Amino acid sequence: MTNTGPGPVAGIKLRIAICGGGIGGLCLAVSLSRYAHLDINVYESAGQFREIGAGVMIWARTWHILEKMGLASEFSKIAHAPPTGAQGVGFDYRRSDQPCEGFRFKLVEMPYGVCFSIHNRHAVLTSDSLCQCIRFHRAEFLDVFVNHLPPGIAHFGKRLTSYSRNSNGLISLIFNDSSSAICDVLIGADGIKSTIRAQMYREAADTAHDQSLMRYIEPVWTGTMAYRGLVRVQDIPRNKDGSPHRTIGVPMMYCGKGRHVVSYSISQGDIVNIVTFVSQPEKHGQHYDGEWVTNCDKQELLDCYANWEPEVGSLLKCIDKPTRWAIHHVNPLPFYHKDGVVLMGDAAHAMSPHQGAGAGQAIEDGFVLGHLLANITSKMQLFRSLDAYEAIRLPTANSVVNGSYESGMMYDLISKYGDDYATLGPAIQRQWKWINEISLETELEFASRLARSPSPNAKL
Ligand SMILES: Cc1cc2nc3c(=O)[nH]c(=O)nc-3n(C[C@H](O)[C@H](O)[C@H](O)COP(=O)(O)OP(=O)(O)OC[C@H]3O[C@@H](n4cnc5c(N)ncnc54)[C@H](O)[C@@H]3O)c2cc1C
């Protein structure tokens, strides 16, 4: 449905260029393309929109946004199971790095979906435990957004190489095929290696004579390698007693010293997504020499978990062609926008995947930014809206960047809690608290107030 919105800026449509058509950029594009007073263009460097295989999980916060965008029924159809809000398992945490059968040291469960109650105008979950994750096949997930893009707004083979601000306030975009475009607002949704973040921070470092800003340009290797694969449920051997493998029914977190294995079903339960991690925290921050994502030998993966409990081995043996990923994140940024150029998604806050939150955070950016940009009525308000976006999104996303890294250390049993289950279990639980702490309605309401306010110092 097209919304006529509050009206054009200075008599012309506000031109918004979104650079990057991943989950974040496409969520924003779908959200904004419903407003007739906005002129939206998505510039994607690849020849088509695409996600590299494997699964993606989201939590109640993100599901709530998909509902608000009117997309919940379509996402329901491709989830592992349509979310009902019923009580479920977030993750079953198990000690597994021994040849004999392992044991559960923490079960995290919680209702998900819209199981909120209203308390002092804030929506809070009725339990202090965890949300169950809602799981998807990545390509199917992206396709829902792609299918909602109006024709003509996506431009492929357009790798942005630089941008500049004209004297009339417009932003010029230069692409690697020598073509160019102009816009009023440039959105950097160009992922972890963002060209836009690099230019923004290089210029800020030069202007402020502050070389410390250069540390936000290059992503940082976390010292962790991940192995990923998808397995058909029918290929996973049954247990000796004939029962199905545990992970088919329950998202599993198999933990051991310096490594862990995550597995959960996707695609209406037909496929199990497996991601395994091997960490060397002493290498955190070192330069990673080599390709970030490569194919690798199955034996290399199996060797990493050679003496683990049998149900881990039987699962990993099913992965035919694993891929190996060097896990990077971006140092938490001090700002997200400058002169009408704004960062979102992995460009703003690429994080390690230990809270399954990067895509969800990109969607939150898209939702908040979409709401603010759709309601702009003047150029002055544009800058206030970008301030509001940053005020709302930056603290949350940065704390998830840090929390995700810490969670990885906990699952690897090398955080300060080690394998003291009495303190580790509650610490793991606390790591997820942010998911339920502040409702999106509250954040949106505050962001809108901030965008309308003449003072940039409004308090939540
Ligand atoms: C192993 C692993 C598991 C994960 N699991 C989860 C999970 O379960 N749940 C979750 O929420 N998140 C997860 N994540 C994180 C999640 O995948 C990312 O945070 C999310 O996909 C980021 O989306 P994005 O749109 O910001 O960036 P991207 O998906 O990287 O999209 C960026 C787009 O920009 C394009 N582009 C790049 N440069 C340019 C340029 N110069 N000009 C034009 N276009 C350009 C790219 O081609 C790409 O299409 C995981 C990540 C990893 C590595």
CA of 192 to the centre of ligand 1 (A): 7
**Which CATH architecture describes the domain 14-80+135-218+332-404+435-452?**
3-Layer(bba) Sandwich (3.50)
DSSP characters over 120-155: TTEEEESSSSPPPPEEEEHHHHHHHHHHTSPTT-EE
Enumerate the domain spans of the chain.
14-80+135-218+332-404+435-452
* pLDDT for 458: 43
* pLDDT for 269: 78
Q: Whose CA is nearest to atom 26 of ligand 1?
A: 345
Q: Whose CA is nearest to atom 50 of ligand 1?
A: 353
* pLDDT for 132: 55
* pLDDT for 124: 34
**190 Cβ closer than 6 Å to some ligand 1 atom:** yes
**424 Cβ closer than 6 Å to some ligand 1 atom:** no
Q: Whose CA is nearest to atom 29 of ligand 1?
A: 22
Low-confidence residues of the chain, pLDDT below 70? 1-11, 53, 82, 84-88, 110-132, 454-460
Query: How many Å separate Cα 312 from the centre of its chain?
Result: 27
**376 Cβ closer than 6 Å to some ligand 1 atom:** no
**345 Cβ closer than 6 Å to some ligand 1 atom:** yes
Looking from the CA of 29 toward its CB, the CA atoms found within 13 Å total 32
CA of 98 to the centre of ligand 1 (A): 34
* pLDDT for 112: 52
CA of 297 to the centre of ligand 1 (A): 25
Among candidates 9, 69, 71, which has minimal Cα distance to 39?
9
Three-class SS of 147-198: HCCCCCCEEECCCEEEEEECCCCCEEEEECCCCEEEECEEEECCCCCCHHHH
**284 Cβ closer than 6 Å to some ligand 1 atom:** no
CA of 100 to the centre of ligand 1 (A): 38
